[in-house]
Copies of this chain bind each other. A is one copy, B any other.
Amino acid sequence: MTTTDTIPHWLTKRAHLTPNRVAIVFEGDEITFQQLKEKSLEKAYLLASLGVREGSHVAVLSQNSLEFTYILHGLTYLGAIAVPLNTRLTKQEISYQINDAECLHFIYEDSFKEFAERVKQDCLIVRSASFAQLNELEPLKHGTKEELKLQDTSTIIYTSGTTGFPKGVVLTYGNHWWSAIGSALNLGIGERDKWSASLPLFHVGGLAILVRSLVYGMTVHLHRKFDAEEVHHEIMHKGVTMVSVVSVMLDKLLTLQGEDRYPDSFRCMLLGGGPAPRPLLQRAKERHVPVFQTYGMTETASQIVTLSAEDTLRKLGSAGKPLFQAQIKIVSDEREAAPEEVGEIHVKGPSVTSGYFKQWQANNDKFQDGWLATGDLGYLDEDGYLYVLDRRSDLIISGGENVYPAEIESTLNAHPAVRESGVIGVPHEEWGQVPVAFIVVDQVITEEELLEFSIERLAKYKVPHAIHTIQSLPRNASNKLVRRELVHLWEERK
């Protein structure tokens, strides 16, 4: 009897189908799928030499680079699980994730060497190596995977937590596969497609582009970080047809566009990472830029709801309809909401995570009959288009990065002088939102002291832009913090 959950290893398969097609363009280098396979297998043998085996959890800290892609693919050849780390996090944050994910191996780009040494002091790491150190090992010709089982775990990616600590989202090969297929069924697959990837590969939005590249046989233009001029140049002169962006990136691209009009072959500006400001969408429309708004999260292995370009203005502000394999429903008062009625967005489908790593409580609370309660608020219109109102009530999205107030509050509360704190997101012209904190103190402390304390412990985008000392936090009858009162306070003070 056959199994419907097994496919050939996707990179080996792709290299077999189109060996000489360019897989990745990066800083002037071009790598074919055959080369990508060979390089990734080399890394697999080096990782095996470091002790990485099937089922090993391996933390990887790197900005976008070819080496990073080889290592990510190399881990799949061993059946090891990648835990890609956000390079903007502090030592404390990184250590927390490495320990929580039970990583015994740690691989990092050489520029993070000193930082990694400090991280390791707090972690249960057995073996670690910088990229250069890894390459100096004697390769171990360990067996590599010829097939992938869709139910096997591929990656654990951390998301900011609603309860103070980030949670590791477990994504299987099947989740990534279905995400790529759903996107293809929505956007189509063209033989000449080239996808520009400036989103970090440690986020699912970036990683998903690498998977699509293998599944579709599509060239990826990879960037260390977003550079509007480079991306603009690729669109105008290098045949790039698809670009993944967050609002702040789209804004820069439109500003740079000037009188240029993108070639007709350019067919998709995939806009994710939070709600898009309407004026931005209007500008894109005026510039004939086909924007596809999306709704997605790490838990859904990137986009799960996408608005087609033809609907962009007709359904302005909507995230669109769920991808072919996906379902959404709005739940209000424990029943399915009527059209136009606001409730919590629930999602279901084979690209949705089966749960958070070791978070039994959260898994129990948030999953039911295959449906994930996202915590986000929204509604469906009469035609079934999704409108997202609030990303998980108090979630702050700053430049495409997610951060929950709870995580910042628990850091501030850890300072001896702070009795309690409340954090909200406030509008910011460049980043969309930034966090602002309100504290109640036991001892006098200056804003500078507390900021310094925060900077050591929190990624820069999580550090409050202002910290206000107040007499007491606004709480409701059941003693829960009422954040909207803090918003009023902030509006009065600004």
User: Per-residue 0/1 for A349-375: is the Cβ within 8 Å of any B Cβ (1 yes, 0 no)?
Assistant: 110111100000001000100111000
A4 at the interface (CB under 8 A from B): yes
Q: Which of A335-390 contact B (CB under 8 A)?
A: 348-350, 352-355, 363, 367, 370-372, 384
A184 at the interface (CB under 8 A from B): yes
A470 at the interface (CB under 8 A from B): no
A325 to B14, CA, bound (A): 10
Main secondary structure on chain A at its contact with chain B?
Answer: mixed
Look across to chain B and name the residue whose beta carbon is closest to the beta carbon of A172: B4
Whether A350 lies near B13 (C-beta < 8 A) is no
A407 to B371, CA, bound (A): 50
A403 to B362, CA, bound (A): 58
A3 to B371, CA, bound (A): 9
Whether B325 lies near A151 (C-beta < 8 A) is no
Which 6 pairs of residues, A with B, have the shortest CB-CB distance? A4-B350, A4-B174, A2-B370, A188-B189, A2-B352, A7-B325
A174 to B13, CA, bound (A): 20
How many copies of this chain sit in the oligomeric assembly?
2
Whether B370 lies near A1 (C-beta < 8 A) is yes
A108 to B297, CA, bound (A): 48
Interface size of A in residues (CB-CB distance below 8 Å): 48
A260 at the interface (CB under 8 A from B): no
Whether B321 lies near A354 (C-beta < 8 A) is no
Whether A350 lies near B5 (C-beta < 8 A) is yes
A326 to B8, CA, bound (A): 7
User: Per-residue 0/1 for A1-23: is the Cβ within 8 Å of any B Cβ (1 yes, 0 no)?
Assistant: 11111111010011011000000
Q: Which of A180-218 contact B (CB under 8 A)?
A: 181, 184-185, 188-191, 215-217
A216 to B370, CA, bound (A): 25
